[in-house]
Structure 1
Amino acid sequence: MRLLLSALAVLTLILPNTASAQNNFDLTDLRDGETLLNISATETKQVPQDLLVATLQYTAEGLDKRALQNEVNVNIKKALDEIKKEKNLKVSTQSYRIYQFTLPSTLPNMTQEDRRRWRAQQSIIVKSKDAEMLLDLVGKIQDMKLDLTSLNYTLSPELFEEVTNELVTDALVKLQARAEQAAKTLGKNNVSFVEVNVNGNGYARPQYARGMVMESMAMSKDMAAPSAEPGESDVSLTVNTRALLKP
């Protein structure tokens, strides 16, 4: 048990990709009767998603580039002011763009120059574990002429860290048991981990929320709140170890 607790102390903070605790053990350091054992264990767990993420975007199109940017700025600020009235959420602005585009050439009586327009847009990302509150809020923001461009569930960083720590613990318990069994089979009495590597492949991409409002609702005077149901994410990691077996 002391061996396991020592390994866990090194791996208290788990990184999504790779974490390691190693002594760079050299095979030439092996003494008579010692054996170096390479073993690994993979742990996977399906975890209910607990964080809802909504992305909303305001877009303005026209001929006056400066006026369009001002329109975006004013409406994004109004949306942010409305969002900040709520608690238990995180909000950030993303992807401010201003670019020129051309209307379809099929439009009659318009030259190439006449068909040129400017488009300005900016996005807001809102995250919360309170799905009911966030969905109601999204409906209000949509009513302020912002488009809902994505709505998906994912795992919160806190839950992901909690689950990965559990998986590392489970994997190390299995590896300790395997190493002790191998030592017993080979007639060895002592086991110690000289290298531990944790390789996590993270978790599945966020699933888009199911049950989005129908397009026809977007034409109503008051925007209905969208609907969403969480799914599950597969959290998986592999622990690779090198165990030193001694007589």
Structure 2
Amino acid sequence: MSRFIRSAAVLSLGAATLASLPAVAADELHYNQISLRAEVSQEVARDQMIVTLYTESQNTDPGKLAAEITTTMNKALAQAREVKDVTLRQGSRNSYPIYDNKNQKITGWRERAELRMESSDFAALSKLTGEMLTNLKMDSMDFAIANSTRKASEDALLKEAVAAFKARAQLATDALGGKGYKIVNLNFNTNGYPQPYARGGMMMKAAAMDSAPTPEVEAGTSQVSMSADGVIEVTP
């Protein structure tokens, strides 16, 4: 019986020793480790133009109203399809009742439908927009960074962020009197890629009433950045 107790004690001690190994390893993992951050940025052109047009009308007969809106939108789509390099998307379409002054009886219906047009050819889309404003109204004119431009920008920033992080890592290593360093982990985050930047369309609408001119537009740029956050271990 006593032999069993002694054996159990030895096994218990061995298990306790093994259980302590991860803790020791964790302590060693963080030895001579420091956290660093590097950030780089660049100006990126908003090279995607987005225009949202709409038609809106009302009628006491909801069927006639729907037919009117559909006819107007079909003509607009046919006109827009004639222009190359313009992507078309039909936006929301809503119909709702109009009530009398007492808000008890429906006196008519109002319906609104949207057409969204996107292009990197600002001149072509501006001209088309001016022509279409004779039948439609403008909801907004937006500018964004195209997906292909964003990817190219992120790839370039990634290389710059890695170089900047390595430079800071070497600077920190030299300051601590280390012989070298190794990267324990490294994470990247991007900031500043905008949602479409809205421009009001009322002035453009008024100018297009008579001669449908091509308005000058300037999309501008956005400052985007990428940060590299990581941990290095300095070799003594």
Higher mean C-alpha deviation, range 203-212 or range 172-181 = 203-212
1:72 aligns with 2:69: yes
Partner of 1:239: 228
**2:233 alignment partner AA:** L
Q: CA deviation at 1:154?
A: 1.9
CA RMSD of aligned residues (A): 2.8
Q: Give the superposition deviation at 1:141.
A: 1.6
Is residue 230 from structure 1 mapped to residue 219 from structure 2 by the alignment?
yes
The structural deviation recorded for 1:75 is 1.6
Is the alpha carbon distance of 1:42 and 1:102 closer, same or farther for their aligned partners in structure 2, counting shifts above 3 Å?
Answer: farther
Tell me if 1:118 matches 2:109: yes
Per the TM alignment, residue 215 of structure 1 is displaced from its structure 2 partner at its CA by 5.6
Q: Which amino acid aligns with 1:230?
A: A
CA deviations 1:122-173 (Å, max 9, x no partner) are: 1111111111111111122212x11111112221111122112222221211
1:160 is aligned to 150
**2:189 corresponds to:** 199
Q: Distance in 1 between matches of 2:106 and 2:200?
A: 38
8 Å contact 2:55–2:137 — kept in the other structure?
Answer: yes
Equivalent runs, 1:174-185 vs 2, <5 Å: 174-185=164-175
Return structure 1 stretches of 4+ with deviation > 4 angstroms. Answer: 111-115, 209-212
Deviations 1:154-206, CA, capped at 9 Å, x for gaps: 21111122112222221211110111222233333332222222222332443
- Count residues in correspondence: 214
Residue 134 of structure 1 aligns with which residue? 125
**1:118 Cα shift?**
1.1
Shift of 1:227: 3.6
> Is the 1:211–1:226 Cα contact (8 Å) retained in structure 2?
no
**% identical equivalent positions:** 23
| AA matched with 1:132 | A
Of residues 159, 165, 169 in structure 1, which corresponds to 2:159?
169
Conserved? CA contact 1:197–1:241, under 8 Å: yes
- What CA distance in whole angstroms lies between the structure 2 residues aligned with 1:80 and 1:70? 15
For 1:83, give the aligned amino acid.
A
Relative to structure 1, is the Cα distance of residues 66 and 40 closer, same or farther in structure 2, using a 3 angstrom cutoff?
same
Give me the whole-angstrom Cα distance separating, in 1, the residues matched to 2:31 and 2:70.
69
Which blocks of at least 5 consecutive residues in structure 1 are unaligned? 1-25, 106-110
**Displacement of 1:98:** 0.9
User: Structure 1 residues 131, 186: CA separation in 2 closer, same or farther (over 3 Å shift)?
Assistant: same
Gaps of 5+ in 2: 1-22
Shift of 1:94: 1.0
Q: With structure 2 as the length reference, what TM-score do the two structures score?
A: 0.78
Contact 2:93 2:114 in 1 (8 A): yes
User: Quick check: which one's helix share is greater?
Assistant: 2
**1:228 to partner: Cα distance:** 1.7
Structure with larger Rg: 2
Q: What secondary structure does 2:177 align onto?
A: coil
Of 27, 45, 49 in structure 2, the residue corresponding to residue 48 of structure 1 is 45
Q: Report if aligned partners of 1:213, 1:224 keep a CA contact under 8 Å in 2.
A: no
Partner of 1:146: 136
